[in-house]
């Protein structure tokens, strides 16, 4: 009898598992952001048969002005909950789609202000969060809710089935956040990343405009009751209580400094009741003389109790940041099989190209991290940290120094110009302080691993990470010269850092023809064996097709924004690059196996799910204003293997719609055009001769 009962239990479990669809209920796939799916229908053997099965357009290209669309970033990753694929647009419209067809099921528009608004962070929404009320009836209105944050600092609760406001939450369905001080422009304080929910608490961070002022909005993390919208707790990364021991790491700066905000996605460990935050640099980014000390808890990975906001631990990635080296990505929660047993960890990628691995309970490094001396001699009044934490187990995924002899250019003149430019700057490697001379920052502030974060395969115990490689030149100038330099350099980033003795100018070091001064690859994707501390493979990511004349697709790699997706099928999917493709790489070798053509570039993270027995891979394709990638787009695209009776990829998609294909097509069209022009010219010349 006992064996029969166990057999029935196993039958139920396995039949349920077989029938259940591999889903994607959180922004990062699971609440810990592994960006991994157990779906395995698509494999290295059949990936080249993928076809585009549906495309959904938000309609923004048709409804919004061209100028407004060039201020947008479609960085969203949809989630699959309640039978709907749910996403948000850069203008914070929340849309539910049919997972099989991409047909719109409902739409909610919060009607954010778009006229005469010039937000420094642009219009952006990376994702939404879902919550099911365990106390509510399953068929009740708002028993399952969608939470979203907005560019105008609201937290909104919607019914997951209909998209209508959950009026019991806050003020008729929304909570308006008070930044605590007047904003200098409407977009100085935004919510751009998806909220997280732990228990019955919804938590949001904020994106705050950089480099405007010392006394900037606080980077407070806020938590609300998921049912009522009542504030549950707040946590400010900058300690404000004189009794807090962390005050000693700020001098008097804690009284005025803002930021250290959490603009990137957060993670949740429900079993531990913890949320994990990636905090950023204090204000202003490039001068810290008014906040002497290490500046705890800025530039850190922080664990808070989800119910109360009480800090459990914090680990600082950068001491006294004056480089805008935010902790930029979602902390990824994983379990490693180490020699002494399983260990729950937090994996944190950084702009510097480092991967930190921290114990999830204590925040202490699992693998060795050394405090190493770094360059000193900052600007007058600066108070640099003498050391910085450097992981030694896993090699950095990007170069962290460059010399004038390394300069790159397509011509001897271009290379020479870059060589001279690098030679004139202050350049002592990673953590060289900003200066009036102009300081090389390599990797740049948008380089290394950015907001997309990493993917982790829990079976193979491998991390996949994409990186960008370019140089920033950071030049300080006396604050009184701001107006003069802003007028002199209207197309460069010139920021006042009001309240500090220095303003700042930041520019990407591009040589003639707009080519980076550092050698390629400019974008890569890598696989890292965390346990062994070994880079297994590294492949270039992206071509020049989107920026070169005639679509010339040189395999140089391109700067990337977005993240990879790992699957049990043995593939890593990623968009992210500055050409119009979703790519699939072999998990084992790093070989690029497939490219799917998109309507626009995809500075977003793909997701995948199984729906009614079919695996779909979905990515947003909308271009990116800050990367200068044009034209913008408004599409979400789904790929799948052909269903029974459907045809596979066309000859066109297998040849022309691949990197390099459009260059060949353009050459053919150019040749035809030139031939036609010559033929018409000859005919015209002959006609003239006959008449004369």
Q: Which residues belong to the active site?
A: 324
> Rounded to whole angstroms, how far apart are CA atoms 161 and 83?
9
Residue 512 is classified by DSSP as G
Adjacent-strand bridge partners of 538: 526
Q: Three-class SS of residue 635? A: strand
Looking at the chain, the number of H-run helices and the number of E-run strands are: 7, 42
In the block, tokens 């300080």 appear at 476
> Does 521 sit behind a cis peptide bond, omega within 30 degrees of 0 on the bond before it?
yes
CB-based contact 561:451 (threshold 8 Å): yes
∠ at Cα 78 (73, 79), nearest 5°?
A: 150
Distance CA 669, CA 685 (A): 24
Answer for the pair 286, 322: CB distance below 8 angstroms, yes or no: yes
Q: How many residues does the chain have?
A: 692
Q: Which stretches does DSSP call E strand in 350-437?
A: 355-359, 369-373, 387-391
3-state secondary structure (DSSP) of residue 575: coil
Question: Cis link prior to 631 (omega < 30° from 0)?
Answer: yes
How far is C-alpha 20 from the chain's CA centre?
A: 30
How many CB atoms sit inside 10 A of residue 499's CB? 17
**What are the two backbone dihedrals, phi and then psi, of residue 581, each rounded to the nearest 5 degrees?**
-140, 145
| C-alpha separations of 48 from 156, 343, 564, 594 in Å | 41, 37, 18, 6
Contact indicator for 386, 353 with CB cutoff of 8 Å: no
The alpha helices in 40-117, defined as continuous H runs, are: 60-63, 66-69
The answer to whether the CB of 317 falls within 8 A of the CB of 326 is no
Report how far residue 491's alpha carbon sits from residue 486's, in angstroms, rounded to the nearest whole number. 9
Structure tokens at 423: 């030679």
Question: For residues 357 and 350, is the Cβ–Cβ distance under 8 A?
Answer: no
The partner residues of 234 in beta bridges, in order of sequence, read: 222
Neighbouring C-beta atoms of residue 361, cutoff 10 Å: 16
* 379: three-class secondary structure by DSSP: coil
């Amino acid at each position: 009898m006992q064996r029969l009962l166990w057999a029935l239990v196993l039958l139920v479990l396995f039949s349920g598992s077989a029938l259940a669809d591999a889903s994607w209920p959180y922004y990062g796939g699971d609440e810990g952001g592994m960006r991994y799916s157990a779906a395995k229908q698509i494999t290295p053997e059949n990936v080249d048969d993928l076809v585009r099965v549906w495309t959904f357009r938000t309609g923004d290209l048709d409804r919004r002005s061209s100028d407004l669309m060039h201020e947008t970033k479609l960085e969203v990753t949809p989630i699959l909950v309640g039978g709907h694929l749910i996403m948000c647009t850069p203008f914070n419209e929340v849309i539910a789609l049919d997972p099989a067809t991409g047909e719109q099921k409902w739409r909610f528009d919060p009607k954010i202000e778009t006229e005469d608004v010039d937000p420094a962070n642009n219009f952006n929404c990376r994702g939404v969060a879902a919550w099911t009320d365990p106390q509510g009836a399953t068929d009740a209105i708002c028993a399952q809710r969608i939470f979203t944050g907005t560019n105008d600092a609201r937290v909104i609760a919607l019914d997951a089935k209909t998209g209508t406001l959950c009026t019991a939450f806050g003020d008729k369905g929304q909570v308006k956040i008070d930044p605590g001080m007047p904003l200098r422009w409407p977009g100085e304080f935004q919510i751009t990343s998806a909220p997280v929910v732990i228990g019955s608490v919804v938590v949001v961070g904020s994106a705050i405009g950089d480099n405007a002022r010392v006394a900037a909005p606080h980077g407070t993390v806020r938590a609300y009751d998921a049912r009522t919208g009542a504030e549950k707790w707040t946590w400010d990364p900058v300690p404000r209580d004189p009794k807090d021991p962390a005050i000693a790491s700020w001098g008097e700066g804690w009284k005025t400094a803002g930021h250290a905000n959490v603009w990137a996605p957060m993670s949740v460990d429900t079993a531990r009741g913890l949320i994990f935050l990636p905090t950023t640099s204090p204000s202003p980014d490039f001068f810290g003389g008014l906040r002497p000390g290490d500046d705890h808890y800025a530039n850190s990975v922080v664990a808070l109790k989800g119910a109360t906001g009480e800090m459990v631990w914090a680990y600082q990635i950068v001491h006294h940041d004056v480089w805008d080296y935010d902790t930029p990505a979602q902390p990824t929660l994983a379990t490693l099989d180490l020699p002494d047993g399983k260990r729950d960890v937090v994996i944190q990628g950084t702009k510097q190209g480092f991967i930190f691995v921290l114990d999830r309970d204590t925040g202490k490094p699992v693998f060795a991290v050394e405090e190493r001396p770094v360059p000193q001699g900052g600007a007058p009044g600066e108070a640099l940290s003498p050391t910085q934490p450097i992981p030694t187990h896993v090699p950095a995924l990007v170069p962290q120094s460059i010399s004038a002899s390394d300069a790159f250019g397509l011509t001897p003149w271009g290379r020479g110009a870059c060589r001279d430019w690098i030679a004139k700057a202050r350049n002592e490697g990673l953590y060289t302080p900003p200066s009036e001379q102009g300081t090389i920052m390599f990797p740049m502030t948008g380089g290394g691993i950015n907001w997309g974060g990493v993917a982790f395969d829990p079976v193979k115990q491998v991390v996949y990470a994409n990186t960008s490689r370019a140089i920033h030149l950071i030049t300080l100038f006396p604050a009184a010269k701001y107006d003069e330099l802003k007028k002199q350099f209207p197309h460069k980033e010139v920021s006042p850092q009001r309240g500090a003795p220095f303003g700042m100018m930041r520019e990407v070091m591009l040589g003639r023809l707009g080519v980076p001064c550092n050698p390629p690859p400019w974008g890569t994707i890598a696989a890292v064996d965390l346990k062994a501390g070994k880079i297994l493979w590294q492949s270039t990511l992206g071509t020049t097709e989107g920026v070169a004349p005639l679509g010339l697709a040189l395999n140089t790699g391109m700067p990337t924004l977005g993240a990879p997706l790992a699957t049990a099928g043995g593939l890593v999917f990623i968009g992210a690059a500055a050409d119009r493709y979703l790519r699939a790489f072999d998990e084992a070798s790093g070989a690029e196996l497939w490219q799917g053509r998109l309507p626009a570039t995809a500075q977003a993270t793909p997701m995948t799910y199984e729906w009614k027995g079919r695996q779909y891979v979905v990515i947003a394709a909308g271009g990116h204003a800050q990367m200068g990638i044009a034209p913008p787009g408004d599409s979400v695209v789904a790929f799948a293997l052909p269903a029974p009776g459907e045809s596979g990829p066309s000859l066109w998609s297998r040849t022309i719609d691949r990197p390099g294909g459009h260059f060949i097509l353009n050459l053919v069209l150019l040749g035809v055009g030139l031939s036609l022009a010559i033929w018409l010219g000859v005919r015209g010349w002959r006609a003239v001769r006959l008449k004369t």
